[in-house]
Structure 1
Amino acid sequence: MPFIELKSNLAAASFSEDFVKKLCSCTAAALGKPEERMNVVVNPGLPMLMAGSSSPCVMLSVSAIGVTDTAVKNKEHSAKIFEFLTRELSLTEDRIVIQFHALEPHQVGKKGTVMSFL
């Protein structure tokens, strides 16, 4: 049950419902997870600096159990997600950064318990 959080200084109009659905599909495919397990949030219009510049940018956080725990896996995920974000948002790669967080099953609560017990 991955968590995807996109933060950007781009206006809310840049992130249609269709974009959010495509982001869900892209990240699900990249991580090898079913779309119905994805949790996606987009936070647009934020005051942001990246590399000292307030030019349009995106910070993406990817948190998941079992698929973000090695450099090799995250290199593959990164390539797929960067391709999507650069194409969909017309940003250059230097205006996008992705953070990968490896979660353990006991760190994710669902249905009144944690994933360890589901």
Structure 2
Amino acid sequence: MPFIDLETNLPKGRFTEDFLQKLVSATAAALGKPEDRMMILVKPDLPLIIAGSSAPGVVLSVAGLGVTDTAEKNRENSSKIFPFLTQELGLGEDRIVIRFSPLEPWQVGKKGTVLTYL
């Protein structure tokens, strides 16, 4: 159950239902997870500075069980996600930052318990 949070200073209008579906597909494929397990949250219109500039940019946070727990996995994940974001949002790689965080089953709640017990 990967969690994808996209925070950006781009306007809300850039994030259509079509874009969201493409983001689900691209991140699910990159992480090797089924699309119906993806959790996507987009936060547009935020004040954002990357490398000293408030030019359009994105911070993408990726957290998941077993998909973000090594440098090798995250290098591969990054190489698959960056092309999607640069193409779909028209941003250069220097305007995108991806933050990877590993999760453990006891850190995710669902159905009144945590994944450890499901």
- Range into which the TM-score falls when normalised by the shorter chain: over 0.9
Task: Report how far residue 21 of structure 1 moved.
Answer: 0.9
What is the alpha-carbon distance in structure 2 between the residues aligned to residue 36 and residue 78 of structure 1? 21
Residues 13-69 of structure 1: CA distance to partner in whole angstroms, max 9, x if unpaired? 111111011101111111111110110010011111000100000000000001100
Count of aligned residue pairs for this structure pair:
118
**Deviating 4+ runs (over 3 angstroms):** none
What is the alpha-carbon distance in structure 1 between the residues aligned to residue 28 and residue 116 of structure 2? 21
Residues 75-116 of structure 1: CA distance to partner in whole angstroms, max 9, x if unpaired? 010011001000000000000000000000000000111111
The answer for unaligned runs of 5 or more in structure 2 is none
Q: Which residue of 2 aligns with 1:54?
A: 54
SS in 1 for 2:87: helix
What is the alpha-carbon distance in structure 1 between the residues aligned to residue 9 and residue 23 of structure 2? 17
Q: Which residue of 1 aligns with 2:88?
A: 88
Structure-1-length-normalised TM-score: 0.98
- The percentage of aligned residue pairs carrying the same residue is 64
What is the alpha-carbon distance in structure 2 between the residues aligned to residue 16 and residue 43 of structure 1? 13
Structure-2-length-normalised TM-score: 0.98
SS in 2 for 1:83: helix
Matches for 1:96-115 after TM superposition, within 5 Å? 96-115=96-115
Matches for 1:15-26 after TM superposition, within 5 Å? 15-26=15-26
What is the alpha-carbon distance in structure 2 between the residues aligned to residue 25 and residue 109 of structure 1? 24
What is the alpha-carbon distance in structure 2 between the residues aligned to residue 94 and residue 29 of structure 1? 23
Q: Which residue of 1 aligns with 2:36?
A: 36
- Matched to 2:47, the amino acid is P
Q: Which residue of 2 aligns with 1:64?
A: 64
- Matched to 2:117, the amino acid is F
